[in-house]
Chain A
Amino acid sequence: MASNFIPLEGKSKGYRIAMIILAFLALSGFVSFIISYLEGHQMFGSNNAIPWGLPIVMAIYLIGLSAGLHILAFLIYIMHQERYREVIRAAVFMAIVLIFGAMIFIALDLGRPEKFWRLFMLFFMNNMASMFAINAIFYSCYFVSAVIYLISLLNNMKRFSMIMGMIAFGWAMLTHGGTGAIFGFISTREPWFSPLSPFEFIFAALTSSLALLILVLVLIYKVTGRELAQELIASLGGLVKGLLLGMLLLMAIGELTHIYSPARDAAIYMLTGHLSWLFWALLIGTGVIIPLVILFHPSMKRSVRGVVIASALIVVGIFVKRYYLVIPGAAYPLHYYPGKIEGVWGEVGSFSFAPIEIILSIGIVGFLALIYIMGLKYLELLPAKDKIEKVDKKPPAPTASEGIKEPRAKADAITPDKAQRKPDERNQK
């Protein structure tokens, strides 16, 4: 294999500071989890009308990113494009970290997190008709196969990693399709009930993860002074464009199906209700239309800056899509009886972000970023920067990354002077 991989040195001041900040975030997340565990879910914003809150939004978002990254990593691997291959290890490791984080989110959102193991007593204590139990198979096998895939990549086992990549690719599809089925199979909730849901999830996952991959790639390359091939970013941007169009098509079909049927109240609420500005402004507006305009624009689609802006908007837009599915999607009251249900039972459910769940979410994301930068230090994930050193060493400017709020990216941003060394000797074997 042409490209060599090296670990981060991880001795700079920036790396240590990032570790400390992330550890502090993780600790605050842990403390807020303990509070929510002792006090109950009254600390969260969810209620009997909207049973699932921010942790579930985060969980399905992270599962989507993870599965999408994995699928992409495999597609890149089989494309036999050496320049893309540089990012596979980092992408697969990120996929593992993200699925792990999603599992943490699901576990901490349970009412009784100490009974988390019950989800994995498959065929023994589980009701295998439940999509949750079926997904437990998907998630655990996905995690294991991704870890084996990463190990095979780290050891340069070409043939084996090809096979493992194929298996992990299939499982990633199943995993995220299954996550979509958790929502799509619930006939009670009209906005969720859709056979398209698994496919929509897969498309959204691919789109958001490719956008995230572009962001992280540009950031790492910029910050560590590696040369960034512009046509690589442009071609990845073209791929994002196609995926985004696919997602838009599925979304449009889903919404039209919901509106076409006479029982369209909930769908109408989703499109015109008091939270619909989220849908129109953040998802359709800045999440789909503006990126599409950028990616179709003849000059902007070639520029790294344009693709990066489009990717950042897509990443945010898909998060809003997840939020919009879980929270306003459950808000519309159920019609127990024809007519207008008076009082609290017929009201649209209300949801307010509780501070505890926000701190919990930020803390878990910080914890994941901590794991990720530790992985960068102890595993050989980053491509060695031994090819082109002609780019003059300008001081790294983390502000160059517009609107990127990824903590792990920030962590990398603080470690500019890495990867100056020669490729690791062990790798050459």
Chain B
Amino acid sequence: MARWGMVIDLDKCTGCQSCSVACKAENNVPYGSPDEHKKRTAPFWHKVIAVSRGQYPTLGIDLIPMPCMHCDDAPCVTVCPARATYRREDGIVIQNFRRCIGCKYCIVACPYGVRSFNYKEPEEKEYHRPDLPPERADRGIWPFPTRVHGVVEKCTFCFHRIDQATREGKKVGVEVVPACAEACPARAISFGDLDDPDSAVAHLLATRQWLRLRENMGTSPKVFYLPR
């Protein structure tokens, strides 16, 4: 079984936010007004944060694209009372919107703040969830179950692309990658099988220094960063 992971080269990242936009477009993530963004009620599956160190003349800025880290030992999976969040065999942490009761415990428990709650009825109702059964009221847009307010959602590593590619026999990581990796103009994001020693991600991790966010939490995330 593959173990999907992502390697983000911080040296190449220019902070253009293409990945965030591509993620919103691909997964039809609901938008929010600037006001809602400021109040932190707009959902984001992917974000790019800017981290500054030092004062003006000697100032360094790191740009960190942050999808879900798909931790091997994910706190959100541990705390979810309804089994709405679970870890697939290939390591992807999935949120099942049908089971989610909206208690927000996973938002509290996530060390990376990658989970968002649907605070209002979204206009963007469709999303790629071939794993969930369709809803009767939505025969028109089958196979996409509708999105409702009051549930938690998060990055899925574009698992619909991966699953389809596996079914069609395409090479994941070369021909098919998640939307953020595909959209990156600097090719800073690579995606692939961490267990396969011949994959591009395994090469990068073997040849370069890497770091993971908040290692002290012991979550062993599967998103790796190559420092500048």
Q: How far is it, in angstroms, between the C-alpha of A343 and the C-alpha of B50 when the chains are bound?
A: 8
A-B contact pairs, 15 of them (CB 8 A): A40-B120, A41-B117, A42-B41, A47-B40, A47-B119, A48-B41, A49-B113, A111-B104, A111-B118, A119-B81, A130-B80, A132-B81, A188-B111, A336-B214, A342-B50
Q: How far is it, in angstroms, between the C-alpha of A42 and the C-alpha of B50 when the chains are bound?
A: 27
Q: Is B181 an interface residue (CB 8 A)?
A: no
Q: Count CB-based A-B contacts (< 8 Å).
A: 168
Of B132-140, B149-157, B184-192, the stretch lying at the interface with chain A is B149-157
Q: Is B52 an interface residue (CB 8 A)?
A: yes
Please give the distance in Å from A352's CB to the nearest CB on chain B.
9
Please give the distance in Å from B108's CB to the nearest CB on chain A.
5
Please give the distance in Å from A268's CB to the nearest CB on chain B.
18
The contact size tier of chain B is 35 or more
Instruction: Collect the chain A residues with CB atoms within 8 Å of residue B158's CB.
Output: none
Q: How far is it, in angstroms, between the C-alpha of A111 and the C-alpha of B118 when the chains are bound?
A: 8
Q: How far is it, in angstroms, between the C-alpha of A349 and the C-alpha of B40 when the chains are bound?
A: 8
A119 touches B82 (CB 8 A): yes
- 4 smallest A-B Cβ distances: which pairs? A111-B102, A111-B150, A40-B149, A132-B81
Instruction: Give the most central of B77, B99, B103, B111: most A CB within 10 Å.
Output: B103
Q: How far is it, in angstroms, between the C-alpha of A159 and the C-alpha of B222 when the chains are bound?
A: 59
Instruction: Collect the chain A residues with CB atoms within 8 Å of residue B148's CB.
Output: 112
Q: Could you list which residues of chain B lie within 8 angstroms of chain A, going by C-beta atoms?
A: 36-41, 43, 47, 49-53, 60-62, 64, 66, 75, 77-83, 99-105, 107-113, 115-121, 148-152, 213-214, 217
A341 touches B50 (CB 8 A): yes
Query: B112: which of A42, A334, A346 is its contact (CB, 8 Å)?
Result: A334
A115 touches B101 (CB 8 A): yes
Q: A52-B104, A131-B79, A342-B50 are in contact. List 18 more A-B contacts (CB 8 A).
A: A40-B118, A40-B150, A47-B41, A48-B107, A110-B150, A111-B149, A115-B102, A118-B101, A119-B101, A132-B105, A186-B108, A186-B109, A188-B111, A334-B112, A336-B49, A336-B113, A339-B62, A340-B52
Residue of B nearest to A349 (CB): B40
Per-position binary interface string of chain A over residues 146-185, scored 1 when its CB falls under 8 Å from any chain B CB and 0 otherwise = 0000000000000000000000000000000000001000
- Count the A residues whose beta carbon is within 8 Å of the partner chain — how many? 49
Q: Is A39 an interface residue (CB 8 A)?
A: yes
Q: Is A242 an interface residue (CB 8 A)?
A: no
Please give the distance in Å from A46's CB to the nearest CB on chain B.
8
Q: Is A345 an interface residue (CB 8 A)?
A: yes
Known contacts A130-B79, A133-B81; is-contact A339 B149 (Cβ 8 Å)? no
A42 touches B110 (CB 8 A): no
Of A23-31, A121-129, A197-205, A361-369, the stretch lying at the interface with chain B is A121-129
A48 touches B82 (CB 8 A): no
B103 touches A111 (CB 8 A): yes
Q: Is A370 an interface residue (CB 8 A)?
A: no
Per-position binary interface string of chain A over residues 334-378, scored 1 when its CB falls under 8 Å from any chain B CB and 0 otherwise = 111111111111100110000000000000000000000000000
B83 touches A127 (CB 8 A): yes
Q: Is A116 an interface residue (CB 8 A)?
A: yes
Residue of A nearest to B53 (CB): A339
Q: How far is it, in angstroms, between the C-alpha of A116 and the C-alpha of B99 when the chains are bound?
A: 11
B108 touches A136 (CB 8 A): no
Instruction: Collect the chain B residues with CB atoms within 8 Å of residue A126's CB.
Output: 81-83
